[in-house]
Structure 1
Amino acid sequence: MKGQEWYQADDVAEDYDTKRFSRGGRLIDQREKQAVLNALSPVEGRRILEIACGTGRFTSMLAKRGADVTGIDISAAMLQQGREKAQQNGVPDHIEFIRGDAARLPFPDNYFDSVFAMRFFHLADTPASFLSEMSRVSREQVFFDTFNRYSTRTVYNWLLPMGSRLYSENEVNRLLSGASLTLVDESHDFILPYGFYRQIPDEIASTFREADTTVGSTTIGDRLASVSYWNTRVV
């Protein structure tokens, strides 16, 4: 996975949420959480696995809604942040954090009702193997997001130290077929890339976000979107 050593550093984990989800980044956090809830709900009583759970943004959210959540990540520092967040939210008994490799998940087949990954596939060096593992351990559903090849993200990607893996719709469809997944629903968003929103204050970002969603709702919006959400079912 790209940037493995950087991602596991203690100082990166400590500042991860602040750098990405403060200022205009709050709009990104809100949209991603809504995307997860839209895809996975209702979650009460369901067994859910999050791949690359990081600091536990989604695990605590789902546990507070009654899910039994397992989060797996390669970073011990990120997992510690997740445990602290679970304590703060009063849901430590409903979340299990495991340090491990998403390419070799330590769970039996069909163990979870749903498996999801956010902010993961843009760093994946072998996306097919990761997606196949997610499909193997899921009984019903796999949900994930990708950054899109034909979008403003392409330009922004040049400025990033690690870059990102970008996907075309055809590539995603091939990955789904290889992992025995069928597409149920897809949605596309953020014509302006994430990095733009993170650089500006929340109140200014809100104005740009309104314009972004207005253009995104037109016939060309899906083709310009930098992010896609893929909701699939296990065949």
Structure 2
Amino acid sequence: MKGQEWYQEDEVAESYEQKRFSRGGRLIDRREKKAVLDAIEPVEDRDILEIACGTGRFTVMLAERGANIVGLDISGPMLQQGREKARSAGVTDHLEFLRGDAGRLPFPDDHFDVVFAMRFFHLADTPETFLTEMARVSNDQVFFDTFNAFSSRSAYNWLLPMGSRLYDDEEVRELIDDAGLSLGDSAHDFVLPYGLYRKIPDWLADPLREVDSSVIDREIGRRLASVSYWNTSVRR
């Protein structure tokens, strides 16, 4: 897994959200949370597992909506940030944070109603193993995102400290099929790179997003989207 040691650093965990989801990055946070909710709502009383939950951005959000959720991550410091966030939100009775390996999930088959992962597969060295494990412990739905090969991210991927695994549409569909999943639908977002939004203030991010959205709604925009969301179900 790329970045495994990097994510273990206390200072990385403590500054993770500030660096990525402040300023114009707040727009990215809102869009990603909307993508999750659009895919898996209603969540109340459903048993949900989040893979690579990090600081608990999605875990706590879903617990606040009544989900019974487990957040799993390999980084102790990131999980500590999540626990503090859960305590502040008053939802510790609806969630549990566990440290563990997404390639060997410590749960029986068909244990959760929903299993999802955000910002995970771009770091995966063996994506087929992780997706198969996600499918194994879900009795219904698996949702995840990927960064795309034919996007603006490919132009600067080599500059990033860990790089990213970028996927084309055919590769993802093969992974889904090989994991015993059926693709329900997919959605695509952000022609402009994430890094651009993070470097601009809020007041500029929203009008820039309008331009981005006008392109993403066209066929060429979907082909150049930075991120894709994949909503799948377990084959019976």
1:110-151: CA deviation from partner (whole Å, max 9, x where unpaired): 000000000000000000000000000000000000000011
Match of 2:11 in 1: 11
Which residues of structure 1 form unaligned runs of 5+? none
Q: Shift in Å at residue 3 of structure 1? A: 0.9
| Number of residue pairs matched by the alignment | 235
Q: Shift in Å at residue 158 of structure 1? A: 2.1
Match of 1:149 in 2: 149
Q: Shift in Å at residue 193 of structure 1? A: 1.1
Structure 2 residue identity aligned to 1:53 = C
Matched, 1:120 2:120: yes
Q: Shift in Å at residue 18 of structure 1? A: 0.3
Aligned partners of 2:156 and 2:112: how far apart in 1? 36
Q: Shift in Å at residue 188 of structure 1? A: 0.3
Q: Shift in Å at residue 219 of structure 1? A: 2.3
Aligned partners of 1:64 and 1:200: how far apart in 2? 30
Match of 1:38 in 2: 38
Match of 1:140 in 2: 140
Aligned partners of 1:63 and 1:151: how far apart in 2? 33
Match of 2:226 in 1: 226
Match of 2:211 in 1: 211
Aligned partners of 2:157 and 2:168: how far apart in 1? 15
Alignment of 1:120-199 (within 5 A): 120-199=120-199
Q: Shift in Å at residue 156 of structure 1? A: 2.2
Alignment of 1:50-129 (within 5 A): 50-129=50-129
Which residues of structure 2 form unaligned runs of 5+? none
- Secondary structure in 2 matching 1:123: coil
Extract structure 1 runs of 4+ deviating beyond 3 A.
none
Aligned partners of 1:112 and 1:218: how far apart in 2? 36
Q: Shift in Å at residue 13 of structure 1? A: 0.3
> Does the CA contact (< 8 Å) of 1:156 and 1:193 recur in 2?
no
- Secondary structure in 2 matching 1:186: strand
Aligned partners of 2:109 and 2:233: how far apart in 1? 15
CA RMSD of superposed structures (Å): 0.6
Aligned partners of 1:193 and 1:165: how far apart in 2? 15
Aligned partners of 1:66 and 1:198: how far apart in 2? 31
1:1-48: CA deviation from partner (whole Å, max 9, x where unpaired): 001100111000000000000011001000000000000100001000
- Secondary structure in 1 matching 2:219: coil
Aligned partners of 1:96 and 1:156: how far apart in 2? 36
Aligned partners of 1:170 and 1:218: how far apart in 2? 20
Aligned partners of 1:208 and 1:40: how far apart in 2? 28
1:125-182: CA deviation from partner (whole Å, max 9, x where unpaired): 0000000000000000000000000111101212201100000000001100110000
- Secondary structure in 2 matching 1:45: coil
Q: What is the TM-score with the length of structure 1 in the denominator?
A: 0.99
1:48-98: CA deviation from partner (whole Å, max 9, x where unpaired): 000000000001110111100000000000001000110111100111100
